[in-house]
């Protein structure tokens, strides 16, 4: 169409030049601004058929403006407008002339005559009579037009899609809709140092930082997550290297067929932490199939790995990337985003003793596989941010394939906080949206290393959640009084247990505090987590609790017998001890895998009648190790690290029967209730069996 219009314009001017004096007729008395167009074969006129804009002054003077994109500017004419100057070209390239005949305008051609059939204040319609197809033509009056020479055309450097690129900027590009080709306004774009929004033309531009290595965008809620190469791996970024010249980087987005998702599923996956090919094989053979099964039938599933994808083993990156590249659940692909962990910082990079330089360089290998470490995207009414909260300092030896690992502290640099402020400032209607901030190391209300600044920024949103990994045990930290969203619910920190459990211990599927290895499933509705539950790998979704006998002593004939109630118990010949709690002596000991002290309750019932016997009490965090799990690791699995006596998070509740002997009690059932924040959903879990030493192989492992 564009080439045709340009050709038509050229023929029109050629016809004008070839006219002789004999062709001159009386001046055409036309005034105003008119568009000349062809309505082929009686079709409806539209602006796509416009090739020329004529501006008449009423005295015979006029201007022709070429509207075709190939047009080189405006052709100015003055003097009298004669009929032959109104020569035009039909789409079949035949040249026609117009002459006045009384009050009629007659278009003549080699094969027929075109006569004015109707006229209003805004249109003149011409009919054709003669041989050949019957085709209508008309002149249409327009109310506005460009009355100056057009600005420089788009050249991709000085001007992109109608937007002038400032000389001071060296990063620019167009974000457009894949179907329409039109620019998408209001998309956040960043290089980790500056955040901007695309303008009304879908164009972004800014000045890069000397450390810039990616340009990326925040996927709008109305658009699909782009996954061009791997159907489960998002590709929302491009690697760049500023060189002083303008770097143009365009992105095309595909709209979601039904608009933004109001109901969708989020998976929080802690620490796959694969050090060997055997570890990676287990992740691909255990965790990934379980995710497929759990999410089967769901169309909108987005997963976030919460750090420590590998274990100081850079040779594991290809395997881990491949395991998450094409996860199809039978309905759709599960999209896997990534958060960087301390063991994902490449310790093969040199230790320069400059912490800022070391941290920047140590993240480069992660970036080669997954892009920026700090980024955001939108799903439904949720703004999701992933950030690196690892600050490396020095290297030390490691038994893993790199041979060394980074020492680190948790926190954020001032530059990261500045980036986060910019990102959140560009989020519209924060008070009506939910925010997830995904990091590796827990916050737990920390007052150091810029953690408070992040928490304060989250208070702007209707509902706020931290998604965390690192610990290899589950814990929920609730900011009951210090931080609340605009909707009234407290900020909630979800510390996820590990997918690898206790580091892929042979035949083991348990974390260091005794819950199964696994992940957490979140059901999102609007700007609220409507429901969530911990999902043990290869376990039923209702497997959420165990009940122990507080009198049991585990592995009495081994070197490290342990119980629930002795305050301090040495672990064999090692220099550390486990921790017990006297309240557990003679009690039913209840372990709830993913509990907290605000939204959970438990009671003992007579199973046959449903009569309530009494309520369980929850131990405070830090008051007890899992005696059964610790004893198994130290006595059977041969572990020697103090990690396996963890007591930071206490998932233990107790109820002491009158007998003081749970093993002698009969006809009992423990009923556990989870009332989720917001009050929309309650879950009930039951257990009526004591977990004994002989049950460990089938309950902890598979």
Q: What per-residue confidence (pLDDT) applies to 131?
A: 47
The pLDDT confidence band at residue 96, using thresholds 50, 70 and 90, is: very low
d(CA 515, CA 544): 8
Containing H/E element for 388? none
The pLDDT confidence band at residue 699, using thresholds 50, 70 and 90, is: low
The pLDDT confidence band at residue 608, using thresholds 50, 70 and 90, is: very high
Nearest residue to 549 (alpha-carbon basis) of 580, 515, 584, 516: 584
Phi, psi of 40 (to 5 degrees): -60, 135
Task: Tell me which of 82-86, 440-444, 573-577 is least confident.
Answer: 82-86
d(CA 701, CA 288): 17
What is the fold of 2-141? Lipocalin (2.40.128)
What CATH number matches the domain at 261-536, 1.20.1740.10, 3.30.930.10, 3.60.21.10, 3.30.1360.20?
3.60.21.10
For strand 668-675 and strand 652-655, is the pairing parallel, antiparallel, or unpaired?
Answer: unpaired
* 249, 381, 431, 439 from 189: Cα distances, Å: 11, 19, 22, 21
Residue 82's SS3 state is coil
Q: What per-residue confidence (pLDDT) applies to 628?
A: 94
> Domain residue spans in the chain?
2-141, 261-536, 545-699
> Can you tell me the mean pLDDT for 552-562?
95
Evaluate if residue 532 carries a pLDDT over 50. yes
Evaluate if residue 73 carries a pLDDT over 70. no
Other residues' Cβ atoms within 10 Å of the Cβ of residue 13: 14
Nearest residue to 479 (alpha-carbon basis) of 493, 500, 468: 493
The predicted-structure confidence for 315-370, as pLDDT tens digits, reads as follows 999 999 999 999 999 999 999 999 999 999 999 999 999 999 999 999 999 999 99
Does the pTM surpass 0.85? The reply is no
Q: What per-residue confidence (pLDDT) applies to 110?
A: 31
d(CA 388, CA 178): 32
Mean pLDDT taken over the chain? 83
Which of 99-108, 110-119, 152-161, 381-390 tops mean pLDDT? Answer: 381-390
Residue 98's SS3 state is strand
CA-CA-CA-CA torsion sign (528, 531, 535, 538): negative
If one compares 260 and 86, the residue with the highest pLDDT of the two is: 260
Containing H/E element for 482? strand 475-484
Q: What per-residue confidence (pLDDT) applies to 508?
A: 82
> Can you tell me the mean pLDDT for 615-623?
96
Phi, psi of 379 (to 5 degrees): -135, 125
d(CA 631, CA 560): 7
Contact at 8 Å (CB) between 511 and 495?
A: no
> Can you tell me the mean pLDDT for 500-507?
92
The residue to which tokens 């117009």 are assigned: 98
> Can you tell me the mean pLDDT for 439-464?
97
Structure tokens at 239: 């690697």
Q: What per-residue confidence (pLDDT) applies to 473?
A: 95
Percent of the chain with pLDDT over 90: 74
For strand 301-306 and strand 335-339, is the pairing parallel, antiparallel, or unpaired?
Answer: parallel
Residues 6+ apart with CB under 8 A from 280: 274, 316, 319, 320, 323
Percent of the chain with pLDDT over 70: 77
Q: What per-residue confidence (pLDDT) applies to 63?
A: 43
The predicted-structure confidence for 629-655, as pLDDT tens digits, reads as follows 999 999 999 999 999 999 999 899 999
The predicted-structure confidence for 106-137, as pLDDT tens digits, reads as follows 333 333 444 444 554 444 454 544 444 434 44
d(CA 139, CA 122): 8
Evaluate if residue 248 carries a pLDDT over 90. yes
d(CA 310, CA 320): 8
End-to-end CA distance of the chain: 67
Contact at 8 Å (CB) between 38 and 9?
A: no
Evaluate if residue 82 carries a pLDDT over 50. no
Evaluate if residue 86 carries a pLDDT over 80. no
The pLDDT confidence band at residue 276, using thresholds 50, 70 and 90, is: very high
The predicted-structure confidence for 192-246, as pLDDT tens digits, reads as follows 999 999 999 999 999 999 999 999 999 999 999 999 999 999 999 999 999 999 9
Residue 166's SS3 state is coil
The predicted-structure confidence for 670-691, as pLDDT tens digits, reads as follows 999 999 998 878 999 999 999 9
């Amino acid at each position: 169409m564009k080439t045709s219009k340009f050709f038509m314009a050229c023929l029109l001017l050629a016809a004008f030049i070839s006219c002789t004096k004999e062709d001159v007729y009386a001046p055409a008395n036309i005034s105003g601004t008119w568009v000349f167009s062809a309505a082929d074969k009686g079709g409806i006129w539209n602006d796509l058929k416009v090739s020329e804009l004529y501006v008449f002054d009423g005295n015979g003077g006029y201007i022709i403006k070429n509207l075709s994109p190939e047009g080189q500017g405006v052709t100015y004419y003055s003097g009298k407008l004669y009929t032959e100057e109104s020569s035009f070209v039909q789409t079949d390239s035949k040249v026609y002339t117009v002459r006045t005949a009384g009050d009629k305008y007659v278009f003549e051609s080699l094969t027929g005559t075109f006569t004015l059939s109707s006229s209003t204040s805004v249109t003149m319609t011409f009919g054709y009579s003669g041989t050949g197809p019957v085709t209508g033509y008309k002149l249409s009056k327009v109310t506005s037009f460009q009355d100056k020479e057009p600005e420089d055309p788009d050249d991709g450097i000085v001007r992109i899609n109608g937007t002038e690129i400032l000389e001071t900027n060296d990063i620019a590009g167009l974000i457009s809709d894949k179907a329409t080709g039109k620019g998408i306004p209001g998309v956040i774009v960043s290089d980790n140092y500056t955040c901007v929004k695309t303008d009304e033309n879908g164009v972004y531009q800014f000045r890069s930082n000397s450390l810039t290595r990616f340009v990326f965008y925040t996927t709008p809620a109305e658009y699909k997550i782009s996954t061009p190469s791997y159907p489960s791996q998002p590709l929302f970024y491009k690697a760049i290297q500023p060189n002083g010249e303008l770097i143009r980087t365009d992105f095309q987005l595909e709209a979601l067929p039904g608009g933004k998702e109001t109901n969708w599923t989020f998976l929080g996956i802690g620490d796959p932490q694969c050090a060997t090919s055997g570890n990676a094989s287990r992740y691909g053979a255990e965790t990934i199939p379980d995710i497929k099964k759990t999410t089967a039938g769901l169309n909108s599933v987005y997963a976030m790995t919460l750090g420590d994808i590998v274990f100081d083993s850079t040779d594991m990156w290809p395997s881990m990337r491949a395991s998450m590249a094409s996860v199809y659940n039978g309905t759709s692909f599960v999209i896997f985003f990534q958060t960087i962990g301390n063991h994902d910082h490449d310790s093969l990079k040199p230790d320069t003793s400059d912490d800022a330089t070391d941290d920047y360089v140590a993240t480069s290998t992660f970036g080669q596989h997954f892009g920026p470490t700090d980024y955001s995207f939108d799903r439904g009414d949720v703004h999701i941010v992933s950030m690196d909260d690892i600050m490396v300092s020095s290297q030390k030896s490691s038994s893993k394939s790199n041979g060394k690992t980074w020492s680190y502290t948790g926190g954020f640099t001032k530059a990261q906080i500045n980036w986060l402020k910019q990102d959140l400032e560009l989020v519209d209607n924060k008070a009506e949206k939910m925010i997830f901030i995904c990091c590796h190391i827990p916050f737990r209300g920390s007052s150091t290393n810029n953690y408070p600044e992040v928490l304060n920024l989250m208070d702007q949103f209707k509902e706020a959640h931290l998604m965390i990994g690192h610990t290899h045990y589950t814990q929920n930290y609730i900011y009951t009084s210090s931080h609340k969203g605009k909707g009234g619910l407290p900020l909630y920190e979800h510390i996820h247990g590990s997918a690898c459990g206790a580091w892929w211990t042979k035949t083991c599927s348990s974390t260091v505090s005794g819950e199964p290895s696994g992940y957490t499933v979140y059901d999102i509705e609007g700007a609220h987590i409507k429901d969530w539950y911990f999902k043990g790998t290869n376990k039923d979704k209702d497997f959420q609790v165990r009940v122990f006998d507080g009198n049991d002593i585990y592995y009495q004939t081994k070197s490290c017998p342990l119980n629930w109630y002795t305050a301090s118990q040495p672990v064999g010949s090692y220099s550390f001890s486990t921790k017990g709690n006297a309240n557990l002596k003679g009690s039913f000991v209840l372990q709830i895998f993913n509990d907290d002290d605000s939204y959970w309750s438990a009671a003992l019932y007579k199973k046959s009648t449903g009569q309530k016997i009494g309520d369980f009490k929850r131990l405070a965090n830090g008051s007890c190790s899992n005696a059964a799990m610790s004893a198994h690791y130290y006595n059977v699995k041969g572990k020697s690290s103090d990690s396996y006596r963890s007591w930071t998070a206490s998932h233990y509740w107790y109820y002491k029967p009158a007998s003081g002997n749970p093993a002698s009690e009969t006809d009992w059932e423990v009923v556990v209730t989870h009332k989720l924040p917001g009050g929309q959903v309650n879950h009930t879990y039951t257990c009526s069996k004591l977990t004994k030493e002989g049950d460990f192989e089938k309950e902890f492992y598979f």
